[in-house]
C-alpha cells in the first residue's frame, strides 16, 4: 500500500504545470464529457479568435496600397474553404464516429493508412485539375489580368491553393481521428498551433 507521502507527491506531479501541458501532446482519452469540453472548447475558441486577428492583421499590413493584394488573399481563402470539404468527402465525420470502434477492433492502423492514401490520391488529382484550369481560375477568381501579372503568376497562385487544400484536408482528418479517439486535448492543441502558424505565415506573406 502506498504511503500518504507518496500519494501526495503523485497528486502534486499530476497537477503540476508540466504535466498539465503534456496532456496536449499525448493521445489520452478524456475521462468524462466535462473533461473533454474543458480541454477542447477554450482552445478552439482561442484559435477561432486568432483566425479573426489574422484577417485584421493582413488587412492592416497591406493598408490602402495593398487593396489589390488583399483582393487576392480573400478569394484564395474562399476557394480553399470551398474545396477542402470536397477532398474530405465526409471522411472527417466517419473518422470521428468510427475511430474508437476501429481501435477496439485492432483495425485502426490499417484504416488510417487506407484513408490517408485516399486523401493523398484525391488531393493530387485535384491539384492537377487546378493547375490545368489555372488560366481560367486565375482570371475568373483572382482577376490576374487586372493586376498586370504574367500567366505564370496565376498558375503559381492556383497551385499554392491546391497544395494548401491537400494539407488542410490532411490536418482536418487527423484532428477528426483524435476527436474520435476521445483525445480532445491534442486535437485542441493542433487547432491552436495551426491557427498560430497560419497567422505568422499570413503576416510574413503580406
Mean pLDDT of 62-80: 70
The residues, any chain, with a CB within 8 Å of residue 147's CB and separated by 6 or more, are 68, 72, 153
7 located within any domain: no
**Mean pLDDT across the chain, nearest whole number?**
75
Report, as an integer, the average pLDDT of 59-78.
69
**Does any domain span residue 104?**
yes
Query: Domain of 57?
Result: 29-205
Does the residue 13 lie in any domain? Answer: no
Q: Is there a domain that residue 56 lies in?
A: yes
What pLDDT sits at residue 34?
Answer: 64
- Does residue 11 form part of some domain? no
Encode pLDDT of 21-67 as tens digits. Answer: 455 445 556 556 566 666 677 777 887 788 788 777 777 776 665 55
- In this predicted structure, the answer to whether residue 5 has a pLDDT above a threshold of 50 is no
What pLDDT is recorded for position 129? 94
Domains in the chain, number: 1
Alpha-carbon distance 202 to 72, whole Å? Answer: 13
Residue 67 lies in a domain: yes
pLDDT given at position 148? 64
Amino acid 146: pLDDT: 54
Any idea what DSSP says for residue 200? H
**Count of CB atoms situated within 10 Å of the CB of 17:** 7
pTM (predicted TM-score):
0.69
Inside any domain, residue 21: no
Region 96-120: what's the mean pLDDT?
88
Closest alpha carbon to 94 in 33, 169, 177: 177
For the stretch 160-177, pLDDT in tens is 889 989 988 888 898 888
pLDDT tens-digit series, residues 8-23: 333 333 344 443 545 5
The answer to whether residue 9 sits within a structural domain is: no
Please say if the pLDDT value at position 188 is more than 50: yes
Query: Which contiguous run of DSSP H or E holds residue 172?
Result: helix 151-180
Amino acid at each position: 500500500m502506498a504511503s500518504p507521502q507518496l500519494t501526495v507527491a503523485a497528486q502534486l506531479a499530476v497537477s503540476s504545470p508540466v504535466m498539465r501541458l503534456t496532456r496536449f501532446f499525448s493521445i489520452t482519452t478524456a475521462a468524462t464529457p466535462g473533461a473533454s469540453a474543458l480541454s477542447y472548447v477554450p482552445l478552439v475558441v482561442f484559435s477561432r479568435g486568432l483566425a479573426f486577428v489574422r484577417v485584421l492583421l493582413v488587412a492592416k499590413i497591406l493598408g490602402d496600397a495593398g487593396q489589390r493584394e488583399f483582393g487576392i488573399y480573400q478569394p484564395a481563402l474562399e476557394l480553399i474553404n470551398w474545396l477542402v470539404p470536397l477532398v474530405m468527402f465526409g471522411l472527417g465525420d466517419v473518422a470521428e464516429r468510427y475511430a474508437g470502434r476501429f481501435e477496439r477492433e485492432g483495425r485502426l492502423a490499417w484504416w488510417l493508412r487506407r484513408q490517408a492514401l485516399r486523401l493523398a490520391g484525391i488531393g493530387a488529382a485535384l491539384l492537377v485539375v487546378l493547375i490545368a484550369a489555372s488560366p481560367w481560375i486565375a482570371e475568373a477568381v483572382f482577376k490576374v489580368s487586372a493586376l498586370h501579372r504574367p500567366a505564370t503568376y496565376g498558375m503559381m497562385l492556383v497551385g499554392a491553393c491546391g497544395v494548401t487544400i491537400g494539407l488542410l484536408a490532411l490536418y482536418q482528418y487527423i484532428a477528426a481521428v483524435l476527436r474520435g479517439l476521445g483525445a480532445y486535448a491534442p486535437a485542441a492543441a493542433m487547432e491552436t498551433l495551426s491557427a498560430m502558424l497560419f497567422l505568422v505565415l499570413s503576416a510574413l506573406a503580406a
